[in-house]
Amino acid sequence: MAGSTPARLKVILGENNIEKLTLPNGIPESLEDLLSTIKTTFGLKGNFRLQYMDQDFGNDFFNLNSTTELRNLGTIKVIHQQTNPPLISADQSTSSLSLSFESDDGISVASNDTIILSSPESMSSRTQQWPEDFAIPQFSYDTELQLERGNTEYRVSQKMLTLSTRMLYDILKRVAEEIYRYKAYPEDAHFCAAAEALIKKHPCLKEPGSFNGCYGWKQRLKYKMANYRTQLKLQGCPELCVNSLKSKATTDAFPAKKVKKPKRSEANFYPSFPTGETLDSMEKVRLELLTEIGIRDNERVIADKMANTFAYRRHEVVNQEPSIQELKDRWPALFTQKEVRMELK
């Protein structure tokens, strides 16, 4: 809490690099002053942002927007901003590229991990709509064991289960992953449905002070989902990276402006390229399609290549928003009767 009482913070500067920060005058009232203090104390250069550890959410790290979120002896993490790398080309080794992806507030974090291009069956490809009845997933064995005992006691004495930090983390993580199977950007109604399904399956998790018994769970899931998206964006999830600030036009470079997400009834909105494919290889297949469409009795070949370039086509539509005439020029096969049926399917 900001004030004049001396405070100490644990600062994570990098992997295996943890320092202690002493603040004689207490935690600064403004985030800018705290950033300046950290930069001066540890000799940091360049731009960076901060995340803080929230013990109420399983010690997950969240973006720090105000110093009022901090407490004495708390933990913060320094996230450095990096520049974007060049696009992948056919003659570049994907394993040697260093990509930088942005978190939910638009600041990027570098990752030197090997790039693994997802197949059409990856988690970024969805074929199911939000279910009528949201199914709560199976939790870890110890969590399920305690929930079973808690539900039994609740039926007898109406006593609520007291959750440990580990149990809370496990529940929120598994439910957030299940939500993401259907929606990367769920709306309030989806969080309500998930929270209601949770207390319906496990009544010992009801909140006595809540008007519907699950309002707090809905809010926790919202925070957890935002943090989960940040983690996936750092791993290069295409449908999340497309909404990073560096992927937007200068006039739209605001976190909440022009967010690209599926409309109603859209499932496979922004899939990953098939395994082993790049922008160059996909463009080569597109050029081959321009020749194939002029050949008689060639529907099978065209259908295979159109299916193979589906992700490339979706990226083009979402990113560039081309006109109908531009689509006709680049993808004439898309406007054949058979392909129109496939698109509608």
Tokens standing for residue 292:
């194939």
Give domain status of residue 257, yes or no.
no
Q: Which residue has the higher pLDDT, 226 or 15?
A: 226
Looking at 59, 80, 101, the residue that finishes a domain is: 80
Res. 85: pLDDT tops 50: no
222 and 169 fall within a common domain: yes
Q: Number of helices and strands (H, E) in the chain?
A: 11, 7
Looking at 80, 111, 137, the residue that finishes a domain is: 80
Indicate the pTM of the whole model: 0.52
Mean pLDDT across the stretch 155-169? 92
12 and 62 fall within a common domain: yes
How much is the pLDDT for 193?
94
Using a pLDDT cut of 90, give the percent of the chain over it: 24
Q: Is 66 exposed, middle or buried (0-12, 13-18, 19+ CB in 10 A)?
A: exposed
Give domain status of residue 42, yes or no.
yes
Res. 14: pLDDT tops 60: yes
Weakest-pLDDT range from 63-67, 175-179, 238-242, 265-269? 265-269
How much is the pLDDT for 84?
42
Q: How far apart, in whole angstroms, are the C-alpha atoms of residue 164 and residue 153?
A: 17
237 and 290 fall within a common domain: no
Give domain status of residue 136, yes or no.
yes
Give domain status of residue 40, yes or no.
yes
19 and 75 fall within a common domain: yes
154 and 236 fall within a common domain: yes
pLDDT in tens, 244-262: 656 665 666 555 556 666 6
Using a pLDDT cut of 70, give the percent of the chain over it: 76
Give domain status of residue 123, yes or no.
no
Give domain status of residue 286, yes or no.
yes
Q: Which residue has the higher pLDDT, 109 or 67?
A: 67
Q: Which residue has the higher pLDDT, 95 or 283?
A: 283
The number of domains in the chain is: 3
How much is the pLDDT for 106?
38
Give domain status of residue 2, yes or no.
no
How much is the pLDDT for 246?
63
Q: How far apart, in whole angstroms, are the C-alpha atoms of residue 105 and residue 256?
A: 9
Give domain status of residue 103, yes or no.
no
For residue 286, the enclosing domain spans 279-344
Q: Are 204 and 144 in contact (CB under 8 A)?
A: no
209 and 163 fall within a common domain: yes
- Beta pairing, strands 60-63 & 48-54: antiparallel
Q: Which residue has the higher pLDDT, 260 or 159?
A: 159
Q: Are 79 and 107 in contact (CB under 8 A)?
A: yes
Average pLDDT of the residues of the chain: 78
217 and 316 fall within a common domain: no
Q: How far apart, in whole angstroms, are the C-alpha atoms of residue 224 and residue 206?
A: 19
Mean pLDDT across the stretch 57-67? 78
Looking at 80, 104, 138, the residue that finishes a domain is: 80
CATH number, domain at 57? 3.10.20.90
292 and 211 fall within a common domain: no
How much is the pLDDT for 216?
92
